[in-house]
């Protein structure tokens, strides 16, 4: 699909410098730009590529001042990075949504299917499922009974959504995601065996949530595991039963959150973070990669690091001391020897 500079500027409320009729049909990096592609410039370290790129259109910030002649058509916007991200989203929508239901898929007669819904080969849509307008289901997806998926959501191949779960508008579930599998609930018995506790709740993903590949979100024992609006989850994350994650929180890969923990809004959690169950993490908290959170963090905006996680300034000082531990021990031993000689 081709777009002119005029059309792109209209989408971004941008101002054109150059040929308004020039057309592009693909995207590129600025240092690898080819004719017919669109790119962007946001980082000053890449300014020099603007003068050599072969890309036809470049999105730049409003305040950018070129120091050499520019061959490409420029579109000036308030934020070049955000504007390019928006265009990538539009491009993705045009290339992934087919608007057709494959004859090789299985769709229950009781399912409710909206307008322009796409269902790929060998996908299964269960009884009483609701797929709202413009939902895109890729091949080999399982959607269990009584699931609701709202408008403009994309479900990539291999996703499994267990019965009774809800997915909001404009969500993206990447390959291998599992929504609504049983929480890890087992009651210890007197004979050292474990009795399974039925997991009767569901999972609720609100609008604009993105879940990375092979991430799992367990259903609640009772009630709902809730992922609030705008949350972004990386690949290979485990979210346990009855967890609640607040709006616009982001979590990096290989992190795990134990059951019934409440995480606030606008938090940033690094990779390989482990969080115990039944605690509260306040809004705007940042947790460094590899940390282990063993207790509630009630101070809004706190920055934590380490295992167990502590305030980042203290963690860094402790790390400096730890690097000098061998030297400190040697000094202690030498002082001890000196003290012993003094008392002889």
Partnered with residue 245 across adjacent β-strands are 227, 263
d(CA 86, CA 13) in angstroms, rounded, equals: 12
Q: Which of 148, 158, 252 is nearest to 206 (CA)?
A: 148
pLDDT at 154 over 80: yes
Q: 131-136 long-range CB contacts below 8 Å, 24 or more apart?
A: 132/169, 134/97, 136/96, 136/97, 136/98
Give the predicted TM-score (pTM) of the model. 0.78
Contact status, residue 100 vs residue 123, Cβ threshold 8 Å: no
d(CA 286, CA 128) in angstroms, rounded, equals: 41
Kind and range of the H or E run holding 137: strand 136-137
More confident residue, 338 or 259: 259
For residues 304-324, give the mean pLDDT: 87
- Domain residue ranges of the chain, discontinuous segments joined by +: 3-96, 106-316, 317-344
pLDDT at 325 over 90: no
Other C-beta atoms lying within 10 Å of the C-beta of residue 153: 23
Least-confidence region, from 117-121, 287-291, 322-326: 322-326
Per DSSP, the three-state class of 256 is strand
Per CATH, domain 3-96 is 3.40.1390.10 = yes
More confident residue, 75 or 96: 75
Contact status, residue 207 vs residue 185, Cβ threshold 8 Å: no
Other C-beta atoms lying within 10 Å of the C-beta of residue 330: 10
Contact status, residue 37 vs residue 26, Cβ threshold 8 Å: yes
DSSP 145: T
Contact status, residue 46 vs residue 66, Cβ threshold 8 Å: no
pLDDT digit string (tens) for 197-243? 999 999 999 999 999 999 999 999 999 999 999 999 999 999 999 99
Question: For residue 192, what are the contacts with CB-CB under 8 A and spacing of at least 6?
Answer: none
DSSP 31-61: GG--TTEEEEE--GGGGGGGGT---SEEEEE
Residues classed as catalytic: 241
d(CA 43, CA 309) in angstroms, rounded, equals: 33
pLDDT for residue 36:
95
φ, ψ of residue 11 in degrees (nearest 5): -65, -30
Triad 154, 237, 258: Cα angle to 5° = 125
Per CATH, domain 106-316 is 2.160.10.10 = yes
């Amino acid at each position: 699909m081709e777009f002119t500079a005029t059309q792109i500027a209209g989408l971004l409320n941008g101002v054109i410098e150059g040929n308004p009729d020039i057309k592009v049909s693909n995207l590129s990096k600025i240092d690898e730009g080819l004719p017919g592609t669109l790119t962007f410039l946001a980082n000053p370290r890449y300014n020099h590529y603007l003068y050599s790129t072969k890309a036809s259109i470049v999105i730049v910030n409003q305040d950018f001042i070129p120091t050499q002649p520019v061959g490409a058509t420029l579109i000036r916007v308030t934020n070049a990075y955000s504007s390019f991200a928006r265009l990538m989203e539009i491009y993705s929508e045009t290339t992934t949504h087919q608007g057709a239901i494959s004859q090789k898929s299985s769709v229950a007669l009781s399912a409710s299917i909206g307008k322009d819904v796409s269902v790929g080969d060998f996908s299964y849509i269960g009884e009483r499922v609701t797929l709202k307008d413009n939902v895109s289901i890729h091949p080999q997806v399982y959607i269990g009974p009584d699931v609701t998926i709202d408008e403009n959501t994309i479900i990539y191949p291999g996703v499994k959504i267990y019965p009774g779960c809800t997915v909001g508008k404009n969500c993206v579930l990447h390959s291998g995601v599992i929504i609504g599998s049983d929480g890890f609930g087992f009651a210890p018995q007197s004979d050292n065996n474990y009795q399974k506790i039925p997991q009767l709740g569901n999972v609720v993903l609100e609008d604009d949530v993105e879940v990375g590949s092979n991430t799992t979100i367990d259903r609640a024992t009772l009630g709902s595991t809730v992922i609030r609006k705008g949350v972004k989850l990386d690949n290979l994350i485990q979210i346990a039963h009855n967890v609640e994650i607040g709006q616009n929180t982001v979590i990096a890969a290989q992190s795990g959150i134990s059951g019934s923990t409440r995480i606030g809004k606008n938090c940033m959690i690094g990779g390989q973070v482990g969080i115990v169950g039944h605690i509260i993490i306040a809004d705007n908290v940042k947790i460094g990669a590899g940390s282990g959170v063993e207790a509630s963090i009630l101070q809004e905006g706190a920055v934590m690091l380490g295992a167990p996680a502590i305030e980042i300034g203290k963690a860094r000082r402790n790390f400096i001391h730890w690097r000098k531990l061998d030297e400190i021990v040697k000094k202690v031993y030498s002082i001890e020897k000196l003290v012993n000689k003094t008392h002889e």
